[in-house]
């Protein structure tokens, strides 16, 4: 199938959750507290939105579960997420677009306009696919946003990316592949991604939280050593 969409309205979609403690990034707890995990989620979202705004598109749309906060920059339309499973919500996000669209999530704060830009160029492809290191995908671009291309694809599973890519190719689409990125799901992911983009809001916050944990550990160790010495002096 030849790529479609030239000259039509392009949309860059960011699908996200409101960063509320206990509802986002729960796999970061522990070692982070729910409040810290939510702060990291907000930082990741801030970096993602900033990169999206710097990427040329006719429309920038935040597809949000929850309510927008002070973290939302000017320049975004806000649309509520649909109901149902993740495949249904992604399909609904694409269905609301009038032309070619690229969708990303909030879990890759290391993303840049250089990574996003090609995903909105449909001159030679019907679709773009950005694989994630965990087997999912971090970006999906469609020249013709057909919900059927997502409905029924198993989400949040090790085979999600492979299944989504197979769906696109089975429909006869020419698919361009974007560079692979690591999602922030676990504390190990957070550390690795922060190291890749230390200049961002996410990287800066992660560094401060890591430093706080190190100070806390040092203080606890010192207190334990002092207690041990005090107990030793009391022994007959």
Could you tell me if 102 and 150 are in contact, meaning their C-beta atoms sit under 8 angstroms apart? no
Query: Residue 236's pLDDT is what?
Result: 44
Query: Residue 217's pLDDT is what?
Result: 60
1 domain-assigned: no
Query: Residue 233's pLDDT is what?
Result: 57
137 domain-assigned: yes
Token pair of 32, please? 């982070």
119 domain-assigned: yes
DSSP 139-202: EEEESS--GGGTTT---SSTTHHHHHHHHHHHTT--EEEPPPB----SHHHHHHHHHH-TTSHH
Distance CA 122, CA 106 (A): 23
5 domain-assigned: no
Write out pLDDT tens, residues 62-105.
999 999 999 999 999 999 999 999 999 999 999 999 999 999 99
Indicate the helix (H) or strand (E) that contains 79: strand 77-80
225 domain-assigned: yes
Q: Which stretches of the chain score pLDDT less than 50?
A: 1-5, 220-225, 227-228, 235-236
Query: Residue 116's pLDDT is what?
Result: 98
Total domain count for the chain?
Answer: 1
Instruction: Round to the nearest angstrom and report the end-to-end CA distance of the chain.
Output: 87
Write out pLDDT tens, residues 2-24.
444 455 899 999 999 999 999 99
CATH number of the domain within which 87 lies: 3.90.550.10
Distance CA 186, CA 205 (A): 16
**Residue 43, domain extent:** 11-234
148 domain-assigned: yes
88 domain-assigned: yes
3 domain-assigned: no
Query: Residue 220's pLDDT is what?
Result: 46
- Note the pTM of the prediction, 2 decimals: 0.88
């Amino acid at each position: 199938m030849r790529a479609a969409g030239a000259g039509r309205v392009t949309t860059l979609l960011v699908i996200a959750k409101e960063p509320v403690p206990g509802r986002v990034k729960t796999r970061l707890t522990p070692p982070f507290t729910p409040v810290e995990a939510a702060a990291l989620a907000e930082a990741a979202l801030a970096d993602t939105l900033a990169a999206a705004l710097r990427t040329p598109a006719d429309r920038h749309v935040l597809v949000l579960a929850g309510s927008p906060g002070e973290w939302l920059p000017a320049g975004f339309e806000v649309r509520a997420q649909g109901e149902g499973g993740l495949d249904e919500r992604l399909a609904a996000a694409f269905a609301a677009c009038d032309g070619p669209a690229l969708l990303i999530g909030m879990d890759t704060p290391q993303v840049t306009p250089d990574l996003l830009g090609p995903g909105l160029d449909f001159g030679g492809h019907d679709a773009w696919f950005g694989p994630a290191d965990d087997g999912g995908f971090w970006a999906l671009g469609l020249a013709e946003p057909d919900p059927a291309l997502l409905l029924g694809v198993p989400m949040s599973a090790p085979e999600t990316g492979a299944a989504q890519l197979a769906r696109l190719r089975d429909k006869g689409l020419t698919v361009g592949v974007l560079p692979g990125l690591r999602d922030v799901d676990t504390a190990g992911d957070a550390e690795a991604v922060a190291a890749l983009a230390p200049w961002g809001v996410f990287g800066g916050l992660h560094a401060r939280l890591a430093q706080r944990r190190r100070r806390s550990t040092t203080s606890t160790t010192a207190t334990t050593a002092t207690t041990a010495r005090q107990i030793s002096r009391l022994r007959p």
